[in-house]
């Protein structure tokens, strides 16, 4: 079914004063097709119309692939996807630049945002959820986007892998798996770091799924991405302001609320701002085993990254390092290779160096954890103090 026919059907429906129901749409299709359209043609047109009016237009079929994590439109004839196979160009085409712009503006409206010449960029979440998961929208209009409208859709699919499935996927080796299980059992606090799309949330969800079922986990997120297999997982989700700028609920406020919900473990899905102050405070008040994710290039850069975020919350450099040393023990760093494969690339341990905290690498893939390492000592001490059973034969 051609897009020209669909455009004529849309124009006919727009001129109709009555209610537009499926029967009216089918009649419009047959009328515009000269009355000879068969049932399959009508169904195809209805599906295309649904995509155009409700879904994401020509991009709809790309969302159907469970491997797609990002859809990037840089021109009417340049639509790219990212996923397990890495970044690749697709055969999806838009009829014109106006069609890309129209889709971007319709999606912005659905997200409760404004996108026009006066406000040429938008960042928001598309309403609803389904098999594809939640979708984050970003769009930029010309002339800010010099070559034409740029549209980006980030598909946040539920992170449901457990540690064993990550082992099968090659994210961790056998020694790394045993070490991660020991970290969870010992209730050490950790941050999962890495770049966008490196698998931070997937690893964090798997680690939370390995937490003892008797423990209550309260998680604060910007979006509801983490879905670990755990019977006592409670999630609080932040809310952006509406078009009038009212109704915002920030991660910082939710961290404070989470502390009143009797958590055994407190988790911040992604530490990206001043909520790091509340997280460190919480992890210094007896909530062992807390966790979060953080964008960072390497474990060694985590202290500096947290310094910048803490400054937004009014926390001095000295206070940040003092709280960090007492609150977080480990950094688990994820990397994504050129092939798209995500791996646990490094584990770093935080240690004091005078008045500051530094991260020292204690494990990399293919290595066994030394018996005399600081991490081994921390795991054994945590095991003994809590009478927890921690297997150490593989690390």
395 residues of the chain, pLDDT tens digit each? 455 666 677 676 666 655 556 677 677 777 776 655 566 666 666 666 655 555 788 898 898 888 888 999 999 999 999 887 788 999 999 989 998 999 999 999 888 888 999 999 998 888 865 555 678 899 999 999 999 999 999 887 766 689 999 999 899 999 899 999 999 999 999 999 999 888 898 999 999 999 999 999 999 987 777 888 899 999 998 887 776 778 889 888 898 899 899 999 999 888 888 888 878 887 887 788 999 999 999 999 999 999 999 998 899 999 999 999 999 999 999 998 877 789 999 999 999 999 999 999 999 998 887 776 778 887 877 766 654 444 444 45
What is the Cα–Cα distance from 187 to 190, expressed in whole angstroms? 9
Per-residue confidence (pLDDT) for residue 69, from 0 to 100: 86
**For residue 281, which phi and psi values (nearest 5 degrees)?**
-60, -45
What is the Cα–Cα distance from 298 to 2, expressed in whole angstroms? 50
Find how far residue 42's CA is from the centre of its chain: 38
Token code pair at residue 365: 């893939």
What is the Cα–Cα distance from 160 to 225, expressed in whole angstroms? 10
The helix-helix angle for 302-312 and 317-327 (nearest 10°) equals 120
Q: Nearest Cα to 183, choosing from 321, 279, 325, 291?
A: 291
Q: Nearest Cα to 169, choosing from 298, 337, 347?
A: 337
CA-CA distances (angstroms) from residue 285 to 7, 259, 273?
Answer: 61, 10, 21
Global pTM exceeds 0.85: no
What is the Cα–Cα distance from 72 to 59, expressed in whole angstroms? 10
| DSSP-assigned letter for residue 159 | B
Token code pair at residue 326: 């007492």
**Could you identify the residue written with the tokens 């409206």?**
109
| Residues counted in the chain | 395
């Amino acid at each position: 079914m051609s897009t020209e026919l669909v455009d004529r059907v849309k124009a006919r429906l727009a001129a109709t004063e009555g209610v537009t129901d499926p029967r009216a749409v089918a009649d419009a299709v047959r009328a515009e097709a000269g009355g000879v359209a068969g049932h399959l043609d009508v169904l195809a047109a209805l599906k295309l119309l649904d995509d155009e009016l409700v879904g994401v237009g020509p991009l709809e079929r790309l969302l159907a692939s469970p491997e797609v994590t990002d859809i990037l439109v840089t021109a009417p004839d340049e639509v790219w996807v990212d996923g397990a196979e890495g970044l690749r160009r697709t055969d999806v085409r838009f009829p014109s630049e106006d069609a890309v712009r129209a889709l971007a503006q319709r999606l912005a409206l659905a997200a409760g945002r404004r996108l026009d010449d006066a406000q040429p960029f938008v960042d928001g979440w598309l309403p609803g959820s389904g098999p594809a998961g939640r979708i984050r929208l970003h769009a930029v209009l010309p002339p800010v986007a010099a070559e034409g409208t740029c549209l980006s859709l980030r598909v946040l699919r539920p992170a449901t892998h457990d540690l064993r499935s990550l082992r099968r996927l090659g994210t961790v080796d056998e020694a790394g798996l045993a070490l991660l299980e020991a970290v969870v059992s010992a209730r050490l606090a950790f941050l999962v770091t890495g770049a966008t799309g490196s698998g931070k949330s997937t690893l964090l969800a798997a680690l939370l799924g390995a937490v003892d079922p008797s423990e209550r986990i309260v998680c604060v997120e910007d979006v509801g991405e983490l879905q670990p297999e755990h019977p006592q997982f409670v999630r609080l989700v932040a809310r952006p302001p509406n078009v009038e700028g009212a109704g915002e609920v920030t991660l910082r406020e939710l961290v404070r609320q989470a502390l009143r919900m009797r958590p055994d473990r407190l988790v911040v899905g992604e530490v990206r701002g001043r909520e790091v102050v509340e997280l460190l405070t919480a992890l210094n008040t007896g909530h062992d085993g807390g966790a979060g994710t953080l964008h960072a290039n390497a474990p060694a850069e985590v202290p500096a990254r947290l310094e910048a975020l803490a400054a937004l919350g009014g926390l001095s450099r000295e206070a940040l390092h003092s709280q960090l040393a007492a609150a977080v023990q480990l950094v688990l760093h994820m990397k994504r290779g050129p092939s798209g494969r995500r791996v646990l690339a490094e584990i770093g341990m935080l240690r004091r160096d005078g008045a500051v905290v530094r991260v020292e690498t204690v494990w990399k893939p293919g290595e066994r954890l030394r018996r005399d390492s600081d991490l081994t000592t921390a795991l054994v001490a945590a095991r003994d103090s809590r009478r927890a059973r921690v297997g150490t034969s593989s690390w």
